[in-house]
Chains A and B, each alone.
Chain A
Amino acid sequence: GENVEQHPSTLSVQEGDSAVIKCTYSDSASNYFPWYKQELGKGPQLIIDIRSNVGEKKDQRIAVTLNKTAKHFSLHITETQPEDSAVYFCAASIPGFQKLVFGTGTRLLVSP
C-alpha cells in the first residue's frame, strides 16, 4: 500500500526566514497531495493541495511543488511568522479513494 515519508520531524527558523518540508510517496498511482496544518487542540486544517497534473501551486506565502518522476512533493513557506508555528502534515491519495495516507508530521517553530 501507499507509504508517505516526511522530513524533517522538527524545524526551527527565525521569523522572516523560509521553511521547506519534504515528502516522498511510494505509490505512483497517487494523484492528490494535500498539506495540513495542525495547531494544539485543533483538527488538521487544509492549507494547500496539488494534483498530479500540476507541478507547482502557490497561495500567498505558501507554495507546493511536485516531482512525479521522483515521487517527491514539498511545502515552502516564505517570510515565516510566529503564527506559522504548528505541526504540518503531508498526505497522498490515489484516484477513486478518499483515503488519505499521512506523513509523520513536521513540528515547525518560528521564533520572533
Chain B
Amino acid sequence: KAGVTQTPRYLIKTRGQQVTLSCSPISGHRSVSWYQQTPGQGLQFLFEYFSETQRNKGNFPGRFSGRQFSNSRSEMNVSTLELGDSALYLCASSLGRGHGEQYFGPGTRLTVT
C-alpha cells in the first residue's frame, strides 16, 4: 500500500506571496493532519481534517488554512508569507477519528526569502 505523498517536496517563495501544499493520504485513510516542523519550535500541530471538515486547529494565525476533498486528499494554504514561515510542512494520515496511529509523509520544505 502506498504511503502518504506530499507535493511539492521543495518550494522557494518570496515574502508576501502565497503557497499551496498538497497531501494524498494512505488509501482508505480519512483523517489528515498538518504539522509544521522548525528547529526552534519543533513539531507543531496546524489542523486536522476529517470528512471534508476542519475538526481541530492549532495556535497559528489565520494566514494558515486548509481544506479536504471528497477523496480525502488535502491542501494547505499559507497567504502573505513571512520569513518565519520557512519550515518543513508535514502531513499525517490516519484511518479516522479515534484511531491514534498517524503516518507521516516526507514533507514539503518551504523556504521564504
Q: Which residues of A are at the interface with B, using a C-beta cutoff of 8 A?
A: 32, 34, 36, 41-46, 49, 51, 89, 91, 93, 95-105
Binds A, one of B14-22, B62-70, B94-102: B94-102
Are A96 and B98 interface neighbours, CB within 8 A?
Answer: yes
How far in angstroms is the closest Cβ of chain A from B33? Answer: 5
Residues in B whose Cβ lies below 8 Å from that of A43:
4, 90, 104-107
Are A36 and B45 interface neighbours, CB within 8 A?
Answer: no
> Which residue of chain B lies nearest to A31 when distances are taken between CB atoms in the complex?
B100
Are B100 and A44 interface neighbours, CB within 8 A?
Answer: no
The 30 listed contacts between A and B (C-beta, < 8 Å) are A32-B100, A34-B102, A42-B106, A43-B90, A43-B104, A43-B105, A44-B104, A46-B104, A49-B100, A51-B100, A93-B100, A96-B97, A97-B56, A98-B50, A98-B94, A99-B33, A99-B45, A99-B48, A99-B58, A100-B33, A100-B35, A100-B43, A100-B45, A100-B92, A100-B102, A102-B42, A102-B43, A102-B44, A103-B42, A105-B42
How far in angstroms is the closest Cβ of chain A from B82? Answer: 23
> Which residue of chain B lies nearest to A93 when distances are taken between CB atoms in the complex?
B100
Are B100 and A36 interface neighbours, CB within 8 A?
Answer: no
Residues in B whose Cβ lies below 8 Å from that of A102:
42-44
Are A98 and B56 interface neighbours, CB within 8 A?
Answer: yes
How far in angstroms is the closest Cβ of chain A from B51? Answer: 13
Check B31 for interface membership: any CB of A closer than 8 A: yes
Residues in A whose Cβ lies below 8 Å from that of B102:
34, 46, 98, 100
Q: Once bound together, how far apart are the Cα atoms of A51 and B101, in whole Å?
A: 11
Say whether, besides A89-B43, A99-B48, A45 and B104 are in contact (CB < 8 Å): yes
Are A36 and B56 interface neighbours, CB within 8 A?
Answer: no
Q: Nearest 6 A-B pairs (CB), nearest first?
A: A43-B104, A32-B100, A102-B43, A98-B48, A99-B45, A44-B104
How far in angstroms is the closest Cβ of chain B from A53? Answer: 12
Are B97 and A98 interface neighbours, CB within 8 A?
Answer: yes
Say whether, besides A34-B101, A45-B104, A99 and B56 are in contact (CB < 8 Å): yes
Are B33 and A98 interface neighbours, CB within 8 A?
Answer: yes
